[in-house]
Amino acid sequence: MGKAYINKIEVDFNDGDTILETASSVQIKIPTLCKHPDLSPTGGCGICVVKIEGTNKMLRACCTKIEDGMKIITHDPEIVEIRRTVIELILSDHPNDCLICGRNNNCELQTIVADFGIREESFEKIVKEIPQDKSTGTIKLEPSKCIKCGRCIEVCQDIQNVWALSFLERGINTRMAPAGDIQLKDSPCVRCGQCSAHCPTGAIFEHDHTREVWAELQNPDMHCIVQIAPSVRVAVGEGFGYAPGENLTNKLYAALRRLGFNTVFDTNFSADVTIMEEASEFVERFVHKKGVLPLITTCCPAWVDFMEKFHTDIIPHFSSAKSPQEIMGTLCKTYYAEKKGIDPSKIRVISIMPCTAKKYEISRSNEMFASGYQSTDFVLTTRELIRMIKQAGIDFNFIEGEEPDNLMGDYSGAGTIFGVTGGVMEAALRTAHHFITGNKLEKVEFENVRGLDGVKETSVEISGNILKIVVAHGLGNVEYVLNKVKEAKDKGKEIPYHFIEVMACSGGCIGGGGQPYGVTDEIRKARAKGLYSDDKNSEVRCSHENPFIKQLYKEFLGEPLSEKAHHLLHTKYVPRPEYKK
Amino acid sequence: MSKLTLDSFKNKSKKAKKNNTNFIKVGLSTCGIAAGADTVFNVLKEELKKKEINVPVLRCGCAGMCYAEPLVEVKIEGMPWIIYGKVNEDVALKIIRKHVARKQVINDYIFSIKDE
Amino acid sequence: MQNQKKIILVKDTNMDKETSSMIDKFLFGLRERGLSEDVKVIRAADLNIYNKGVVVKIWPENITYANVKKDDIDLIIHRTVENGKNIDELLVSETNKQLRIVLRNCGIIDPEKIDDYLDNEGYCALAKVLSEYSPDEVIEQMKISGLRGRGGGGFPTWMKWNFAKAQKEETKYIICNADEGDPGAYMDRSVLEGDPHSVIEGMIIAGYTVGAQKGYLYIRAEYPLAIKRITLAINQAREKGLLGDNILGTDFSFDLDVRLGAGAFVCGEETALIASIEGKRGCPSPRPPYPSVNGLWGKPTIINNVETLANIAPILHNGGDWFASIGTEKSKGTKVFALTGKVNNSSLIEVPMGTTLRDIVYNIGGGVLNNKKIKAVQTGGPSGGVIPENLLDTSIDYENLQRLGSIMGSGGMIVMDEDDCMVDIAKFYLQFCVDESCGKCAPCRIGGKQMLNILSNISEGKGDLEDISSLKRISQALQKASLCGLGQTAPNPVVSTLKHFEEEYIEHINEKICRAKKCSLLSIYEIIEEKCKRCSLCQRSCPVEAINGNREVGFTIDQEKCIKCGKCFEVCKFEAVSL
């Protein structure tokens, strides 16, 4: 704790706080293009410079720790002029493509240029043409728009521990690229999209599939089914001025119908299916000792990709249950098609996801075609959906909410919390408890697995058995968990966990790489809160209690882990060594 | 090599200079070598051997006079202590044949006279 | 020997013809007096006294006369050679302008033999420190000495050490920054090649003082001989018990390792250097935290440059007072410079702080090459600036150089004459910084490039007056908003040439003239009618058919078409093409 002065305003601060953080506590915004609240400062952009009274030097507010008695000036004509020059310099190395850029109206560089009222370009344009990298079909790199803030690289290396992106070359030739200057698809990239979510400009962007989806919607021969992922409902509103976390499920259903979807389903329903399968799988392994423990969740495709690249030795631990997206796709083209008598080849399943890796998941292995067709046809991120709604002229803010379509639209509270870290674990525990004990849970909440701590280790008791569990999110946090498992294995010690949940992105899907821009821990908390309220307000809070789930098993699948369920709803994993070329 | 201790430095005389002996010294740092000092070094040694003169040819670092590399410092009793510069093979031979063997100073290649 | 032979050494730096006639006169005079047998006359190439006419040295008395005229010769022979009396008017009190502390052993000892170093008071300071001084007492001596970092910044060395010493960490590191990279600078290389143990001794003492157990020498890989000698020296020191466990039989243990730099100039910046040793991309990080608090692998780390470390042993051997008695009020001791450029004696020199630039150029460097007019002296390498002729009497210290818009830097010193164009010089240094920018921060990455483009335009005659204000504006942004020293100082060559030579910029812009004729695109090639023999070679050589005329009427150059390639100038055998 200490006292300092910013623009003569007395401020209290905690040891280790930066000038930038402290300034914001007294409503002073120091502009920056490189510092992101999720990431440690790099000092790359040079815009956040401030003065210490009585010295001639300028310091970076983003990375300078505030000290007791410091007298800081954040804005004076000289500082503003320096900032303006630096911004103009950055602008001179940035293409003037704003009008046709994916980040138009949502770009941090554009905003700062507008705020500074820059009306002419003082310096010669020196933009280098660097080819785009569209190789993954999920994330598009457009290095010529990169301002070298380093956020993508930091998130890829430090937060996700993937090390796909790095800076290449030096000086004015510095560019962001897959390490080794290979194509992104051949790199260790797991398509989590955190780079795109943290990029201040349009240099890293989701591969846009809205045109393809529009085409399907226009095709009268096609029966278009849409599914929305759990976390989309609490984030989509940010595109329309709603506060983060506002649950807009029913508005979404209405908007999707107006877009032209014939059937509106909810991924929350298929999340319930995933739980039925996964919880059964867990019970098999835990109670009946069939298969290895710990069991590891697999709904996150970036995590699956990460494991297939870096940790192939733990494949036997992976739950073979497909992700909710894939289960929905498969069931649409089998169960639903049969029931409604629609030719599955005329069905198009489009999913709205918080995630860029989901675009990769739909064709990642043969099992994704178990319905006889590619089970999910297109994936749109939350950001793409927001654009489509706007393009369609739908006044989202005032549209009346609607209900989903029958059969696979209704969900339990367990399904909805899939979208937040710890949610899959909590949902699975609710059902596993029932499968093991046959009883109804008194209290369905497992608070220990909630929250934004990177690794959450805890245990629960189910009829006398201690169940050791761990939840990790942000791929950089996986290492700790896996090391513990591997160490126990190597030394023949007792396994440290029975059940592990991993989500690639910080906060889980609510912080996904395809969500609206500007995510911070504050926003993550708000979105998580939205999902937990949805759960709390649900009549049915356990997957196995969802009447439509019961119907599905009764009419179509039989039992969880039945042969049919295995064929349609389970998948396999294979080692995919990195650096293929 | 035996290890030194603090005691090894206790009774050390101020400077164990060996100034009175004759020697030839060649600047063999990058600057000198680039100018050809290693050839000069070898020529000096061979010529001394041939002439059976017993004067040590020593190695040293850069004396700073880059403009005059290669530098050869010659200290022979009864002669000025001279630093010859821009020494090539030819001058190197002269240093042995004239300066060392016959005590004659060589014209045009003196770049410095050292004080005793 | 009854009458020891005398030798008269004669040198005139400037006029060789004069010298030989002087020598003839000496020979003649000696013969006349029958002294030819006993007194030899020798032509010296250099007697290290400059701008004082003909210099004559008489051996073995070591009498030196300067400004010797022909008429003085008889007197010299009579008075001095025959009668052993001095001629006071001619006598030079041979003041050696140099003082060698850092270079004390360079060119004297064999750098590959530790015994040579030991014979020259080597490791005496270490022994003294280990037996007599507590770490605090070492710091005290360092504080008294007033030694400041020789890598460029001039930060008091004792303070750096004290910060690291104050850290309550078990593990600490000492790093020797030998990633010397300024164009034309080779001070560190010479020390490492000529006297490696002096650096090692400094590092061990630093280690003892701050409580470090391990040190790294970060040397650029382009210095193979320095690497070889320092590695050899480390091994020898280890065998002698000067490195490793229980140094000199005490409780103190310290060891050294060599790490090679891969040629990035920015790795001389301490945080980038640390990143490089850690195996990361060599990019600077924000400071604070300073390495002395949070350095290599997060541990307190002292980074000193080679020259700073080579000063340590003499300071502790002779006492801080002794060191503080040398130099100026705020800059103590000596400084090594690599004196290059348009100077007669390109050399590595060491002078007390406070020596004037003019003294260095004329009395040590022997004056300007080809007797041309000096325009400026550049100090501080790419981070420094130019000091114009009228300020050469400034005495060198950290503050003075900074006041003039340059810096001490690591010790590059380049003499520039009237053939050097200040726009071109600024462009050269800026190009260097643009090439060496790591690219991490926007001001340096883009600002440097933009400034370079503007300078190129000016040097090609495409500039306008607004460019000067743009240069100043970007310079300020770089100085204030760059992340590390490289970017913060990269505009200095531009700022200082603009400060002292703005008129040259304006000439380039308004009149499209480069007075030094360096900016080739501004040169105007013309055919001098009187000299032209009408051979037509120029016309046939011109790649763009810019030369009109024929062998009947003569030739002229069409300035509109001319691309200033200089081909006509090159091929003309009659010097009939003017520049």
**Given an 8 Å threshold on Cβ–Cβ distance, is A46 in contact with C482?**
yes
Alpha-carbon span C247 to C233, nearest angstrom: 15
Contact list, A46 vs chain C (CB under 8 Å): 441-443, 477, 481-483
**Given an 8 Å threshold on Cβ–Cβ distance, is C442 in contact with A150?**
no
Query: For the domain C114-324, what is the CATH code?
Result: 3.40.50.11540
Fold of C524-578: Alpha-Beta Plaits (3.30.70)
**Residue among C60, C248, C345 minimizing CB distance to B4:** C248
Region B93-103: mean pLDDT is 94
Whole-prediction pTM value? 0.91
- Closest alpha carbon within chain A to C466: A122
Region C432-455: mean pLDDT is 96
Alpha-carbon span C569 to C579, nearest angstrom: 8
Query: Does chain B reach chain A with at least 3 CB pairs under 8 Å?
Result: no
So what's the pLDDT on residue C50? 86
Judge whether A52 is closer than 8 Å to chain C, CB to CB. Answer: no
For chain C, positions 45-74, list CB contacts with chain B under 8 A: 45-48, 57, 59-60, 62
> A211-569 architecture in CATH?
3-Layer(aba) Sandwich (3.40)
Q: Tens digit of pLDDT for each residue in A130-144? A: 999 999 999 999 999
Contact list, A122 vs chain C (CB under 8 Å): 470, 473
Chains that touch A (3 or more CB pairs under 8 A): C
Judge whether A230 is closer than 8 Å to chain C, CB to CB. Answer: no
Tell me the pLDDT band of C251, cut-offs 50, 70 and 90.
Answer: very high
**Given an 8 Å threshold on Cβ–Cβ distance, is C446 in contact with A172?**
yes
With CA atoms as reference, report the closest residue to A376 among A404, A351, A345, A396: A351
Chains that touch B (3 or more CB pairs under 8 A): C
**Given an 8 Å threshold on Cβ–Cβ distance, is B9 in contact with C123?**
yes
Contact list, C128 vs chain B (CB under 8 Å): 9
Both tokens of C440, joined, read 């991490």
C282 CA: distance to closest CA in chain A (Å):
10
So what's the pLDDT on residue B3? 86
So what's the pLDDT on residue C427? 96
For chain C, positions 363-392, list CB contacts with chain A under 8 A: none
**Residue among C446, C480, C481 minimizing CB distance to A93:** C446
| Residues of A carrying an active site annotation | 278, 281, 299, 319, 358, 361, 367, 509
Does residue C579 surpass a pLDDT of 90?
no
**Given an 8 Å threshold on Cβ–Cβ distance, is A148 in contact with C434?**
no
3-state secondary structure A40-52: CCCCCCCCCEEEE
Judge whether C198 is closer than 8 Å to chain B, CB to CB. Answer: no
Residue position matching structure tokens 């929350």: A268
Total CB pairs under 8 A between chain A and C: 113
**Residue among C4, C189, C241 minimizing CB distance to B3:** C241
**Given an 8 Å threshold on Cβ–Cβ distance, is C477 in contact with A167?**
no
For chain C, positions 231-290, list CB contacts with chain A under 8 A: 264, 281, 285-286, 288
Chains that touch C (3 or more CB pairs under 8 A): A, B
Both tokens of A460, joined, read 């629960």
Q: Which CATH superfamily is domain C6-82 in?
A: Glutaredoxin (3.40.30.10)
- Alpha-helix residue ranges (DSSP H) falling in A147-209: 151-154, 194-198
Domains of chain B: 20-114 (3.40.30.10)
Alpha-carbon span A222 to A224, nearest angstrom: 6
Both tokens of A212, joined, read 């393809």
Both tokens of C438, joined, read 């790591």
Displacement of CA C235 from its chain's centroid (Å):
30
Answer whether A74's CB lies under 8 Å from A7's CB: yes
Lowest mean pLDDT among A130-134, C172-176, C408-412: C408-412
Answer whether C264's CB lies under 8 Å from C273's CB: no
**Does an H or E element contain C174, and which?**
strand C173-178
Q: Tens digit of pLDDT for each residue in C273-313? A: 999 999 999 999 988 889 999 999 999 999 999 999 999 99
Query: For the domain C334-417, what is the CATH code?
Result: 3.10.20.600
Alpha-carbon span A478 to A503, nearest angstrom: 9
In chain C, domain spans: 6-82, 114-324, 334-417, 422-511, 524-578
Query: For the domain A92-206, what is the CATH code?
Result: 3.30.70.20
Which of the residues B5, B29, B69, B76 would you substitute to probe the C interface, choosing the one with the greatest number of C C-beta atoms within 10 Å? B29
So what's the pLDDT on residue A240? 97
Fold of C422-511: de novo design (two linked rop proteins) (1.20.1440)
Alpha-carbon span A79 to A66, nearest angstrom: 18
Does residue C2 surpass a pLDDT of 50?
no
Which of the residues A170, A173, A174, A176 would you substitute to probe the C interface, choosing the one with the greatest number of C C-beta atoms within 10 Å? A170
Judge whether C345 is closer than 8 Å to chain A, CB to CB. Answer: no
**Residue among A43, A86, A92 minimizing CB distance to C286:** A43
With CA atoms as reference, report the closest residue to C118 among B22, B62, B4, B19: B4
Q: What does each C-alpha distance from A5 to A2, A57, C102 come to in angstroms?
A: 10, 17, 46
Contact list, C450 vs chain A (CB under 8 Å): 89, 92, 123-124, 126
ipTM of predicted complex:
0.93
Q: Tens digit of pLDDT for each residue in C58-71? A: 988 888 998 888 88
Tell me the pLDDT band of C17, cut-offs 50, 70 and 90.
Answer: low
Which of the residues B2, B6, B11 would you substitute to probe the C interface, choosing the one with the greatest number of C C-beta atoms within 10 Å? B6
Residue position matching structure tokens 């190695």: B59
Query: Judging by beta carbons within 10 Å of its beta carbon (0-12, 13-18, 19+), is residue B17 exposed, middle or buried?
Result: exposed
Tell me the pLDDT band of C13, cut-offs 50, 70 and 90.
Answer: low
Query: For the domain A2-75, what is the CATH code?
Result: 3.10.20.740
- Which stretches of chain A score pLDDT less than 50? 580-581
Tell me the pLDDT band of C254, cut-offs 50, 70 and 90.
Answer: very high
Both tokens of C199, joined, read 């650096």
Q: Tens digit of pLDDT for each residue in B42-67? A: 999 999 999 999 999 999 999 999 99
Using alpha carbons only, give the angle A117, A123, A126 rounded to the nearest 5 degrees.
Answer: 120
In chain A, domain spans: 2-75, 92-206, 211-569
**Residue among C62, C130, C345 minimizing CB distance to B67:** C345
**Given an 8 Å threshold on Cβ–Cβ distance, is B66 in contact with C346?**
yes
SS3 A476: helix
A92 CA: distance to closest CA in chain C (Å):
8
**Given an 8 Å threshold on Cβ–Cβ distance, is C121 in contact with B15?**
yes
